[in-house]
Structure 1
Amino acid sequence: MSIPPKAGPPALDACDDSGLVVARFGEIALKGRNRPRFTEQLRLNIAERLRTCGIAAQVEKVEQRFYVHTADPESAAEALTRVFGVTSVSPAMRAPRDIASIQQVALSELVRGGFSERSSLRVEARRTYKDFPLTSPEINQVVGAFLHGALGGRVDLSRAADFTVGIEIMRDHALVYARSLAGAGGMPVPLSGRVVCLMSGGLDSPVAAWMMMKRGCAIIPLHLAQSEESKERFLALCEVLQQWSQGWRLRPIVLSHAEIMGDIRQRLLENNAGRWTCLFCKRAMLRAASEIAGRYKGQGIVLGDSLGQVASQTLESMRIISSGCELPIYRPLIGLDKVEVMALARKAGTYELSARHSAACPYLPENPVTQASFAKFQALLPLLGED
């Protein structure tokens, strides 16, 4: 994978008018000896995201920030909100480390952002280097007074202000910006390892995959197709998730649901245990996922279960489904309700696809078991050829 070469920062005169986006990271700064590995992967992922979006840029690490030099800073900032590991981004300008230059650049940023006399503003300064002659509160007061005198408007020291001018005092320059976008947070993909994600075309499992990606996992999407429609929806969901998966190319795997089920349902019906179909179906799915994990070095299996949401997601049912699976099973949605999952689906961009009507599972019994007895389950195992 080719990455734009590192480049030093442009030379500073009175101020730097070239396009600049500042990308910040959070928890990976606490990684100790592993920090260079995490920050370099994040740099690569930032560059990949920009390249995928067709944005020409150079990416460099400056202290505890990434500087993106580009002719299109607004588009670059929007694009970087989908890079896991980035906590926030700001189209910014650099200024020399003197208060007069900082005031002029801040004024320019507010004017460019559309500040008017009816707008409110606040200044939020941070000194990475404490040798600057003014403290952070003093910078806030001096720059705020200058901007208020030049542009009018109201001063609002709360986070409800229309404009917050950010000022960061770095080693040999200052950063000034009037807009910040929240990043995706989390960890850079694929540093946490590989997991197989069992994905339907529904709401929950794509969100579970997205949440594991947020923690830096490289996901291996697996779908057990019941129809051509379910397969196409799954592939479309993978295309959406790929937008968040810098550093790892998704390679969707599709298997036949009918072939995985085999004669499980028929055997259960013959033994008057048709209500157990969902549980044994999910056990068959886990066996298929375990085989895929072994083939592609997966370290676990991800399910979209939410406790108590459906019959197969009670504590009793999940114990039965999980038993016998040697790999760890991750259920990132376990404590969320449907409203919370829907909000995450909208954030991930999967909601519209998942919300489309789909055919019901052909194996769903009329009255599935909910309070499943583990002893009864063990008695059924020999009848289905399981140990």
Structure 2
Amino acid sequence: MSTIFQQVLVVRYAEVGLKGRNRHWFEKQLCRNLQAVSPGCKTKRTDGRIIVHLENAQAPDISRVFGVSSWSPAYMVKNDISQIKLAVKAALENIHERGSFRITTKRSWKGFHLSSQQVNEILGDFVVKNYNLKVDLKNWDINITVEIGRDNAFISAVRYRGLGGLPVGTSSKALLLLSAGIDSPVAGWYCLKRGVKLHTLSFLSPPYTGERSAKKISDICRVLSKYSPGITLQSYLINFTQIQQRIKELPEDSYSLILQRRSMIRIACKLAEKMNIRALYTGESIGQVASQTVENIHTIDEASSLPIMRPLIGLDKQEIISKAKEIGTFEISIEPYLDSCVIFAPKKPVIRSDISVAKELESKIPDIEELESRALEDVQQRTYMDGDIVVS
């Protein structure tokens, strides 16, 4: 019997599959994101999976597409057991490991004339007779997966783990307060993992912070934009020096960092309102530094008119560093630079701040609102997509 193999990619999802009547909308966005990392490929939604037909397109970098639980290079054949056997043979020819194997059959179409167990037994017998492999259902070296749909079967011997989460573009926009440090880029990555369209706001303190700080922020935005395929990431830069200098003139220096954070939050909220954004993201983790105690976070939050999401709130520093290394921002973040808040940091920052004290100190800067509005008027903007600057 002749057979025609078509090499495809089988993309599986987990959380998307739990959606109800709007599941198709999530699937369509995932298809768009897959097409963005492989221009020219074609995608088809079938039997709870997405099949990527490459044809003449380059293989997509699925490792940066959220919403994917796993994916496999596969052979697509008609759902005929003889055709499936030949596809198993072709799949094994590309595997250099030899030892033990198992067959895992899943039938999304229950009308197939053989049960999953029967397919496992037939294919297992075929492999044992034709290859120097033994069956081991618990500690296998090769797991040959057979996924049987209504019209086709997909056979693969390799499975790669995806990023999980939701496809970027399925949730609303959010604004990340992005520094050039380790934490906030990781918070941005977790924001994207929930399908959120990410934009960033960074504060600079010229002449204290130079081009190096701005370049680090740009490099981080390049990395984050790779995880948002085909969707633009807007980056905003604000000169914060004058506000910091005015805060530093106040008699109660221990509150200066808290007041800077409150001012940043107010500016971020005003920018977000202009962009129709309904949430902020930050990289804070409880107790990591003085400004991140429960009391100080409470004081900072009071200045916000929007919810502030903190995906790192329960992670320790080593967990954050590990994730930064994994996503590709760590080496950028550890390059030497001057942080705008560190430059104007108090010698003895308050640990348990009081909102009423913070407000009283702010009242001693009567033009604080004007200064914040002026800073927002001079905002610089850059647009990133797929790791490149598209508008500067």
After TM superposition, is the score higher than 0.5? yes
- 8 Å CA contact 2:88, 2:144 repeated in 1: yes
1:201 and 2:180 matched: yes
Structure 1: distance between partners of 2:243 and 2:141: 56
RMSD (Å), alpha carbons: 2.0
Query: More displaced, 305-314 or 221-230?
Result: 221-230
Aligned to 1:307: 286
Provide the secondary structure at the position in 2 that maps to 1:81: helix
User: In the alignment, is the contact (CA less than 8 A) between 1:307 and 1:334 conserved in 2?
Assistant: yes
Deviation at 1:164, TM superposition (A): 0.9
Residue 371 of structure 1, aligned match among 352, 371, 390: 352
Residues 164 and 24 of structure 1: CA distance in aligned 2, closer, same or farther (over 3 Å): same
Q: Provide, for residues 346-366 of structure 1, a one-character-per-residue CA deviation record: whole Å limited to 9, x for no partner.
A: 222212111223335211122
Deviation at 1:260, TM superposition (A): 4.3
Work out which of the residue numbers 299, 323, 328 in structure 2 matches 1:320: 299
Match of 1:216 among 178, 182, 195: 195
Q: Does 1:174 align with 2:153?
A: yes
Q: Percent identity?
A: 32
Higher mean alpha-carbon deviation, 136-145 vs 299-308, is at 136-145
Among 60, 67, 75, the residue aligned to 2:44: 60
Number of the residue aligned with 2:125: 145
Q: 3-state SS of the aligned residue for 1:197?
A: strand
Deviation string, structure 1 residues 283-305 (Cα, Å, up to 9, x no partner): 11111211210111111111100
TM-score, structure 2 as length reference: 0.87
The 2-side partners of 1:372 and 1:232 are apart by 34
Structure 1 equivalent of residue 89 of structure 2: 107
1:125 alignment partner in structure 2: 105
Post-superposition CA distance 1:256-281 (Å, at most 9, x none): 131443511112xxx2x111111111
Give yes or no for contact 2:266–2:303 (8 Å, CA) kept in 1.
no
Question: CA separation in 2, counterparts of 1:92 and 1:300?
Answer: 40
Task: State the shift of 1:335 in Å.
Answer: 0.7
Give 5+ residue unaligned stretches, structure 2.
Answer: 370-392
Question: What amino acid does structure 2 have at the position aligned with 1:175?
Answer: F
Kindly state the Cα deviation for residue 238 of structure 1 after the two structures are TM-superposed: 0.5
The letter of the residue matching 1:292 is L
Runs of at least 5 residues in structure 1 that lack an aligned partner in the other structure: 1-12
Q: Distance in 2 between matches of 1:15 and 1:30?
A: 36
1:384 Cα shift?
A: 3.7
Paired residues of 2:72 and 2:156 also in contact (CA < 8 A): yes
Residue identity matched to 1:92: A
- Taking structure 1 as the reference length, what is the TM-score of the superposition? 0.88
C-alpha distance in 2 between matches for 1:149 and 1:383: 86
Distance 2:63 2:260 in 1: 38
1:129 is displaced (CA, Å) by: 1.4
Q: Which amino acid aligns with 2:45?
A: K
**2:364 match: secondary structure:** helix
Residue 380 of structure 1 aligns to which amino acid in structure 2?
L
Which residue in the other structure is 2:8 paired with? Answer: 20
Kindly state the Cα deviation for residue 383 of structure 1 after the two structures are TM-superposed: 2.6
Secondary structure of the residue that 1:252 maps to in structure 2? strand
List per-residue Cα deviations over 1:316-342 (Å, max 9, x = no partner): 010001103111111011011112112
The alpha-carbon distance between structure 1 residues 138 and 379, as it changes in their structure 2 partners (threshold 3 A), is same
Query: What is aligned with 2:343?
Result: 362
Match of 2:247 in 1: 264
Quote how far apart the aligned CAs of 1:49 are. Answer: 1.4
Match of 1:38 in 2: 26
Q: How many residues align?
A: 362
How far apart are residue 204 of structure 1 and its match?
A: 0.6
Q: Which deviates further from its counterpart, 282-291 or 21-30?
A: 21-30
- Structure 1 residues 277-356: aligned runs within 5 Å: 277-356=256-335
Residue 229 of structure 2 corresponds to residue 241 of structure 1: no
**d(CA) in 2 for partners of 1:332 and 1:72?**
40
Code of the residue aligned with 2:307 in structure 1: it is P
2:127–2:133: 8 Å Cα contact kept in structure 1? Answer: no
SS at match of 1:206: helix
CA distance, structure 1, for counterparts of residue 11 and residue 41 of structure 2: 13
| One-letter code aligned to 2:258 | L
Higher relative contact order (CA 8 A, sep 6+): 2
Q: Secondary structure at the match of 2:25?
A: helix
